[in-house]
Structure 1
Amino acid sequence: MLLSIFVLGGGVGVLSVHHYTRDDFPSHFIFGSATSAYQVEGAANQDGRTPTIWDTFAHAGHAHGHNGDVACDEYHKYKDDVQLMVETGLDAYRFSISWSRLIPNGRGPVNPKGLQYYNNLINELIKNGIEPHVTLFNFDLPQALEDEYGGWVSRRIIRDFRDYADVCFREFGDRVLYWTTVNEPNVFALAGYDEGEGPPLRCSTPFGVLNCNTGNSTFEAYLAAHHILLAHSSAATLYRTKYKDKQHGFIGIAVYTFGILPQTNTEKDILAVQRVHEFYVGWILDPLMYGDYPNIMKINAGSRIPAFTSAESKQLKGSLDFIGVIYYTNFNVTDNSDILKRKIRDFDADMAAQLAGKQDLFSEEEYTVDPWGLQQVLKKLKLLYGNPPIYIYENGQRSQSNPSLHDVSRVKYLHEHIGSVLDALRNGSNIRGYFAWSFMDLFELLDGYESGYGLYYVDRNDPDLKRYPKLSAHWYARFLRGTTTSRIGTIQLDKDPSLLSLAHLFQ
């Protein structure tokens, strides 16, 4: 599945080996794009919003000195952005709610200005025929809760999260059907509490990458994830008992995934691949599907991984209606079992495996356009978890941020991966939607504004932060309008009328 652009005898040509149109997807299948609150909203100090752990992390200089104080200013420009979504042809838009904009102290009174903003955004989307998919938490815990009791390392967070979710369900649930409780809990727990690469910057030597002042890498990632799972199940139970009969919505969680292959064909590396899946994906999904952590995690981590009570296990099991898949790239895996002999251990040591290229997870380099890993992930989810409904909530190509709109590699990436999704659908996977990450170039966790995934370029030198469609935005819009690429090999665009509308984009 490859769409290549090249010059043939002075003319522009397309080599396509995967032919599909939007009509090849089921009629109920949705296509969208996504962002998150701190990455796009801006207005960080306006209308009652208070700081979050992501604000604190960014202002400490960990994203090339950039921050989300202004970001893309979607807080003020949401109507214009919704019109761009209409022009692109999106069925749905995935965004997150800023907990501290809605409830500035993390608990207690609701901020009227924050409530008004999200009502306005949701109403604008629906008015324009775009379905809102809402995430409740994306790395941006109110700093007030972090300061008060340590945030996700305390069981007190479970009740506060449930109460926050209650406000969202009550205020927006008459128009929002799809709720993701937490985005990437596996990455958030590891980056924030083990490796010290993300907010709230908790870790301990010798494991932390950055200079953490608090934390304990040997167990806090497990503890934070444990409380995230309990908070999710508490919110899901609340929704099902209090709101679902009237609102008819669905609750899910979004997990970071990647394709994995053994570095060698040795039995040790093959077993290491299985451990990687269980430690990264099973860690989150096994409790939600089966009520407990994978056995290998409990064996290797021992008492450092918390145990669920029978009541908690019962509440966890089956507490999601869909899985949100976050997928970007692939890794090779090699066995590292010798590390289990270490007296001081963290998550990576317990996993006893190494990911080749893991250090490049947040780099500015482009991903290899090689979508076999996405199909592998989708197949595993189908086989291991009873083929649950899946929304691919993030999938996109990273590139260095620059004003060039000619993002051919992103077109290739989207073309191949959407084609891969179609293949998985034809193989029986219960996939309900695909969301390209991201709708526009935005504030990235570690890269700040140095790299971008956007369909739209944001001119940060323009006081109005004007948006410009990239080649990928034109390609995605063309696909969503039902236009196809051909599977007949090399084509001269000037000889193929069906491709003339796209030809100028490659010149």
Structure 2
Amino acid sequence: MLWPCCLLILTLNLALAVLSADNYSREDFPPVFVFGAATSAYQVEGAAHEDGRSPSVWDTFSHGGGDVAVDEYHRYKEDVQLMAETGLQAYRFSISWPRLIPNGRGPVNPKGLQYYNNLINELISHGIQALVSLYNYDHPQSLEDEYGGWISRNIVRDFTAYADVCFREFGDRVSSWSTINEPNIFAFGGDSSTEPYLAAHNMLLAHSSTVRLYKNKYQSKQNGVIGITLYAFWLLPLTNSTEDVTAAQRARDFFLGWFVNPLVFGDYPEIMKNNAGLRLPVLSNEESKLVKGAFDFIGLIHYYTVYIKDNSKSLKLENRDYSADMAVAIFFDQDEDVPFVLFPQEYPRRPWGLQGLLEYFKQAYGNPPIYIHENGQVGRHNMSLEDTSRVEYLHAYIGGLLDAIRNGSDTRGYFVWSFLDVFELLDGKGSSYGLYFVDLDDPSLTRLPKKSARWYSTFLKGGRVGSHGTIELEKTLDALVSEG
């Protein structure tokens, strides 16, 4: 296998090459390539206590922070009109399980069913594809109270039944389904010595059961595709030492291989089985057959690159958790004084990291179909609409993606996170990724375009952008936007 022995060579080649396509337009991408933007239910819908919706675990965690969010539940027509004006080809959103099936299983909530039918129909009427995530951190609190949520095998049954309702009611108009969003991040919670492994195992089984249901019962009639969406750092060794190079590959196996190896090869990575031992559930022969190949695509959520240093001494701990099993230290930069946090307020722009990630999937996993389901730049949430840094970020990463495609990556779509400033799951109202500004403290919740929205719109409508895109943009912006 190429990895990790040739990793350093690849990294150096990427760093020395032109970092991203410098001057490009929408027409440089394949005609079937899809561009869009994304949000998730709890972060945009609001109406948390309306029309039969029950509490989710995220309502409990955030103490009602998303009760209003940006009120897309009531303003979806306005938002879809804005998407059409922007030029989006697709909108990726999630369905709120407790809005559709408030008790987690059993009767469907007619108001919830009506809302999602209305949203999907509105998208289709404006020529915008509907891409749906079935789960984004928000299962009904009732299931958490009843059996512990994802740490119980019972959720495999309940999740599959919930997905069945979604396929039956919406599948004739949904082009793409993602079962679970960021399972490799969500599984971190709880008792970290055993629960991450158990929760992840049940997520894999729920995903695979749902994929089998879709393929056996719906896909031939509805003609959609189905996959799973992983949070994906690009992980590089801090130094060129053998220990750090090995540690970087170990981190990839723990972060990505945890889910991708079973889906592609039918089992967990060997290093995970060795380090976690009996705390890692075993995929039986039957489960392995269910899981292996259970995807049409893999969605990736990528924002930044991190550096990995070996910390093998953690393997000597008598009572280890997931982090100790991985046995690495993580840094934002090659400067070890720069601390790592999972969701930073700022991070360096490294578009070559996305290229490295996609090359890794090509080499290590046989070049599966990929969708970039989230990518964007975080900033402090404020009134500034002149987000030039976000324009530069999007220009660099979309250009890097184009280079990866030209180098053979089977990447088929790209979605900006996020369409609007939304209620961020871990930072609430403190940070934003939106193309459109929304003052979350203003009852009017007016949507205002930032420069990045205008840039993305220009690109989507055929404008050519270069490394000085913010200058070239101003020359053509008004004409192109008005034409749209």
Q: Which residue of 1 aligns with 2:193?
A: 218
Match of 1:436 in 2: 416
Structure 2 distance, partners of 1:329, 1:69, is: 30
The answer to whether the aligner puts 1:324 opposite 2:328 as a matched pair is: no
Superposition CA RMSD, Å = 1.8
**Moved beyond 6 Å, runs of 4+:** none
| CA distance in structure 1 between the aligned counterparts of 2:76 and 2:376, rounded to whole angstroms | 22
Structure 2: how far apart are the matches of 1:152 and 1:463? 36
SS of residue paired to 2:377: coil
Q: Are the aligned partners of 2:263 and 2:291 in contact in 1 as well (CA < 8 Å)?
A: yes
Tell me which residue corresponds to 2:25.
21
> 2:160 is matched with which residue?
162
Distance across 1 between alignment mates of 2:367 and 2:192: 34
Contact 2:371–2:413 (8 Å) recurs in 1: yes
Distance 2:26 2:175 in 1: 23
Q: Which residue of 1 aligns with 2:343?
A: 362
Do the aligned partners of residues 329 and 122 (structure 1) sit closer, same or farther apart at CA in structure 2, a change above 3 Å counting? Answer: same
- Name which of 263, 273, 280 aligns with 2:248: 273
TM-score when scaled to structure 1? 0.87
* Structure 1 residue ranges without an equivalent (≥5): 1-15, 60-65, 194-201, 203-215
Cα shift readout 1:302-354 (whole Å, capped 9, x = no counterpart): 00000011111001000000000100001110000011000010111101111
Aligned-residue sequence identity (percent) comes to 60
Gapped regions of structure 2 (runs ≥ 5): 1-19, 333-338, 480-484
Q: 2:381 aligns with which of 375, 380, 401?
A: 401
Name 2:112's counterpart in structure 1.
Answer: 114
How many residues align? The count is: 455
Q: Are 1:42 and 2:18 an aligned pair? A: no
1:133-187: CA deviation from partner (whole Å, max 9, x where unpaired): 0000000010000000000000000000000000000000111120000000000
The yes-or-no answer on 1:477 pairing with 2:448 is no
Q: How much has 1:502 moved relative to structure 2?
A: 4.1
- Cα pair distance change 1:17/1:322, threshold 3 Å: closer
Shift of 1:274: 0.3
Q: Distance in 2 between matches of 1:324 and 1:455?
A: 21
CA distance in 2, matches of 1:270, 1:359: 19
Aligned to 2:213, which of 216, 232, 238? 238
Cα drift, residue 492 of structure 1: 11
Q: What is the Cα deviation at residue 501 of structure 1?
A: 2.8
Report the Cα offset of residue 289 of structure 1: 1.1
Q: Is the 8 A contact 1:363 1:447 kept in 2?
A: no
Name the residue aligned to 1:30. Answer: 34
Query: Retained in 2: the 8 A contact 1:276–1:353?
Result: yes
Aligned partners of 1:316, 1:177: CA distance in 2, in Å?
Answer: 22
Q: TM-score, normalised by structure 2?
A: 0.92
- Which SS does the other structure have where 1:87 is aligned? helix
Query: Is the 8 Å Cα contact of residues 391 and 470 (structure 2) preserved in structure 1?
Result: no
1: CA distance, partners of 2:220 / 2:143: 32
- Please state how far the C-alpha of 1:263 moved relative to its aligned partner: 1.0
3-state DSSP class of the match of 1:306? Answer: coil
Whether the aligned pair in 2 keeps the contact of 1:259 and 1:372 (CA below 8 Å) is: no
- Aligned match of 1:198: none
Contact 1:395-1:436 at 8 Å conserved across structures: yes
CA shift at 1:261, angstroms? 1.6
User: Is the Cα contact below 8 Å between 2:90 and 2:130 reproduced in 1?
Assistant: yes
Aligned AA (2:48) = A
Deviation at 1:462, TM superposition (A): 2.9
Partner secondary structure for residue 360 of structure 1: coil
Counterpart residue type for residue 447 of structure 2: R
- Shift of residue 17 of structure 1? 7.5
Structure 2 CA distance for aligned equivalents of residues 152 and 449 of structure 1: 28
Matches of residues 29-178 of structure 1 in structure 2 within 5 Å? 29-59=33-63, 67-178=65-176
CA deviations on 1:213-243 (whole Å, 9 max, x unpaired) are xxx2101000000000000000001111111
Q: Determine the C-alpha separation between the residues in 2 that align with 1:276 and 1:484.
A: 38
Shift of 1:363: 2.8
Quote the offset at 1:485 in angstroms.
2.2
Moved more, 421-430 or 258-267: 258-267
Aligned to 2:10: none
